[in-house]
Structure formats: structure tokens, C-alpha cells
Structure 1
Amino acid sequence: MGKKKKKKNRGSRTHGRGTKHGRGAGERGGRGNAGLGKHKWKSLAKDDPDYFGPKGFTRPQKLIEEDEVINIYQVEEMLDQLIELGFASEQEIGYEVDLDEAGFDKLLSRGKPSKEMKIRVSNSSEKAEKKIEDAGGELELIDNPEK
């Protein structure tokens, strides 16, 4: 990089640039961002390292909805809390649990049910359904219009 001219040298024919040497963009190595990938690489790497390369796209977070999932063993661990909060009740045989009201979207199969449970939920895995029914319980899948 050459020196910047501090004075405009008005009244001078060449403004301190000599005869032909200061004409055009050749003295500057091109106009604007020309040569950023070639001879102006050092300044680019220092000033704007992300100039080249993929920028990607990130979906807006408010559009991304993940299912609130819960496993069978977690339902059994939380059973007392769910009863206190009014999302579950004790019946003559087993328990009745409304996971949809509790804010859960999907029941997964990890764990082994030790109690009979009638569970209401909007979605579940096939293995979870089989395990609940094998333990003498019932799984009621409901349509959730909000999803």
C-alpha cells in the first residue's frame, strides 16, 4: 500500500502522482474489492475472514418445534407429581395419566411398566404401545389440533 495523499495539490497538474504512473486503478491494484482472493489476500484475511466460503442458512427458531417426549420409566417416576398436579389419578386397577394435558407430545419405550396405566397422549412409539398393553394397560392416542 502506498502513502495516502494528505493534500489535494490543487493547481498542480498531476496532484503529486507524477506523469503517467498515478493514472487509473493499476496503481491501487484494482478498484474496490478486486484482487481480494489474489494479491489483496492478506488484508482480506485480517479484515474479513468470512468473505469467502459458504454462509449457510438458519431457520428461524420460532418455526422449529420439537416434540416434548417422555419415556415409560419417567412416567412411573413422576407419577406422584402428576397426581398432585392433576394430570393423573389413581383408579381401582392402576392409574389414569393424561400426558397431553401435562404438555408431553410423545411417549417413548425406555423402561418397563410395573403398574397398569391408561395413558392419553397424542403420539407414541410402537414399542411403548406394546409394553403398556403387555403390562395390562391401555394407550389412548388423541388428535391434537394445535400440532
Structure 2
Amino acid sequence: MVVRREKKTRKMRGHRTMGWGTKGQHRDRGAEGGRHIGMHKEKWSWIVKYGKDWYGKHGFINPTSKVVRAISIRKLLELVDKGAIEAKEENGKLVVDLTKIGYDKLLGGGKVDRPLLVTVGAITNKAKEKIEKSGGQVILTPQS
């Protein structure tokens, strides 16, 4: 298929119907049917089956917000014990790289029962204290 470099609307300026024909002028939307009149009446069965979120308000997502994937010490040690997160043993410390796993931040919830060497982008003060108190170490990586 050929890539259209210019928008169709720019090419069609000056042509009365702009490529949409003489009758409808792109009022209909194909298989969805009609101009979406009667969605609360005769097309209600379509709404029930396919358009669950057709009516009502649907919230707002702030485009400037940043999603931070965080994990607590408790959950981290739980996943290490289960084998869900791979951790190596070096110099008597459990080595975990959270940046490779996809976590951005380490939170301080839970108890540290063994020395940890954690590589992470961000960490809370409480988590840092707990890890260093148990004889562990934290390596901070630059965040993107």
C-alpha cells in the first residue's frame, strides 16, 4: 500500500464533497450503524452487548503524572523466597537488581532478616536504614 504523505483533507480542498459522496458525507460509521441516534431506545441491545461504557462520565487521566512501579521490602523478600525474582548470593549478601526486573522504587515496609545488596532507581529513607542496619548495601542508579 502506498503511504499517503499529505492529509486527504488538504488534497481535497475546493471539491464540494471532499471525496465523501453526494448523499451522506461521512455521517454513518459502517457496521456500528446510523448516526448513533436511538442508542437509548431501539439500539439498546447493541449498547448492552458492546457499549458498556457508552453513557456516563469516565474520569480524567492527568497527562503529566508519572507512574512509579514500587515494591516493599516485605514483598521483595517474599518473591525471592518463592523464586519469582532471581537473586544471587555474593559475599554473604543477597544480590537483587530491581531495575532489570522493572521496579523503580524500594519502599520500607517489612523486616530485613538477611543482608541485601539492592540496585534500584529510588529508595525511601526507612528502606535504606533497614537494609544498612542488616549489613546490606544500596546502589542507586540514575532514573530515566
Number of residue pairs aligned between Structure 1 and Structure 2: 85
C-alpha distance in 1, partners of 2:126/2:65? 26
1:76 alignment partner, SS class: helix
CA deviation after TM superposition for structure 1 residue 113, in Å: 0.5
Match of 2:72 in 1: 71
Match of 1:82 in 2: 85
C-alpha distance in 2, partners of 1:141/1:131? 16
C-alpha distance in 2, partners of 1:71/1:65? 19
Structure 1 residue runs without a partner (length 5+):
1-54
C-alpha distance in 2, partners of 1:65/1:131? 27
Structure 2 residue runs without a partner (length 5+):
1-56
CA deviation after TM superposition for structure 1 residue 124, in Å: 0.6
2:88 alignment partner, SS class: strand
C-alpha distance in 1, partners of 2:134/2:85? 20
**Mapping for residues 103-122 of structure 1, pairs under 5 Å:** 103-122=102-121
Match of 1:47 in 2: none
2:130 alignment partner, SS class: helix
Matched letter for residue 135 of structure 1: S
Q: Map Cα deviations across residues 70-104 of structure 1 (whole Å, 9 max, x no partner).
A: 00011111112211xxxx21223021000011000
1:130 alignment partner, SS class: helix
The yes-or-no answer on 1:58 pairing with 2:47 is: no
Report runs of 4+ in structure 1 exceeding 4 Å deviation.
Answer: none
C-alpha distance in 1, partners of 2:62/2:111? 38
Question: Larger C-alpha radius of gyration, 1 or 2?
Answer: 1
